[in-house]
């Protein structure tokens, strides 16, 4: 499932930091820039898929409830027709109507049970997604800050400016790394589960 994919990517990101080279006398860690951004890009692809999965679950729940309501309506109509045409003279019409009502009540109970389970699952998925997105945003920002510090320290140690550093590091490319606006803000990254739950109601 997509949920497992995101957890695995987060584990890989943590592992990358744990295996990074620690800067002496600081709490900073230098990591492989290419691997870091590769994991981040995979996360950016996986998150929308998980949102889509929650939306599909919501649609399936609504379709199930609609079918249950329609089936209950048809059962009641059929019971009324049968009772009126065949059982009225024997006093069995009332019994047939009670049976039809029991079927309707049972259908409603089953529909409500499914709805409650679907709402709980969707809310749980969206809450977890919101936490993962917030953690990812924090990790990305920390990683970018570390890269800035690393380049600044490298320039200071070698007497190079930012332009010189870009030329000395062919793996960084002409653009270096993605600017901050390429990543969502904390408000954009967080998904409000209550908003989705409200739409489903």
| CA end-to-end span of the chain | 26
From its phi and psi, is residue 173 left (phi > 0), alpha (psi between -120 and 50) or beta? left
| Rounded Cα gap, residues 67 and 76, in angstroms | 14
Residues 6+ positions from 69 with CB-CB distance below 8 Å: 107, 111
Q: Is the pLDDT confidence value at 62 over 80? A: yes
Output the furthest CA–CA distance in the chain (Å, rounded): 105
Total of domains in the chain: 1
| Rounded Cα gap, residues 31 and 22, in angstroms | 9
Q: Is the pLDDT confidence value at 157 over 80? A: no
Q: For 67-115, how does the pLDDT look when each residue is reduced to its tens digit (9 = 90+)?
A: 888 888 888 888 777 766 665 666 667 777 788 888 888 888 888 887 8
Element spanning 30, H or E: strand 29-30
What token pair was written down for 42?
């995979």
Residues 6+ positions from 195 with CB-CB distance below 8 Å: none
Domain of 101? 2-200
Mean pLDDT of the chain: 73
| Rounded Cα gap, residues 81 and 23, in angstroms | 83
Q: Are 138 and 184 in contact (CB under 8 A)?
A: no
In the chain, the percentage of residues whose pLDDT exceeds 90 is 0
| Rounded Cα gap, residues 132 and 54, in angstroms | 15
Residue 193 has a pLDDT of 52
């Amino acid at each position: 499932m997509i949920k497992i994919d995101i957890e695995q990517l987060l584990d890989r990101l943590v592992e990358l930091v744990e295996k990074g080279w620690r800067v002496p006398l600081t709490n900073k860690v230098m990591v492989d820039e290419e691997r870091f951004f590769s994991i981040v890009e995979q996360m950016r692809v996986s998150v929308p898929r998980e949102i889509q999965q929650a939306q599909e679950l919501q649609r399936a729940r609504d379709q199930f409830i609609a079918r249950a309501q329609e089936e209950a309506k048809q059962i009641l109509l059929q019971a009324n027709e049968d009772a009126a045409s065949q059982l009225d003279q024997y006093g069995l019409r009332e019994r047939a109507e009670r049976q039809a009502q029991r079927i309707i009540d049972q259908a409603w109970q089953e529909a409500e049970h499914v709805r409650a389970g679907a709402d709980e699952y969707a809310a749980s998925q969206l809450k977890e997604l919101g936490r993962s997105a917030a953690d990812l945003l924090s990790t990305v920002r920390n990683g970018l800050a570390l890269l800035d510090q690393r380049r600044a320290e490298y320039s200071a140690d070698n007497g190079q400016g930012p332009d010189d550093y870009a030329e000395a590091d062919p793996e960084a490319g002409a653009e270096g790394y993605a600017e901050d606006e390429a990543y969502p803000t904390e408000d954009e990254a967080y998904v409000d589960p209550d908003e989705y739950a409200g739409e489903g109601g």
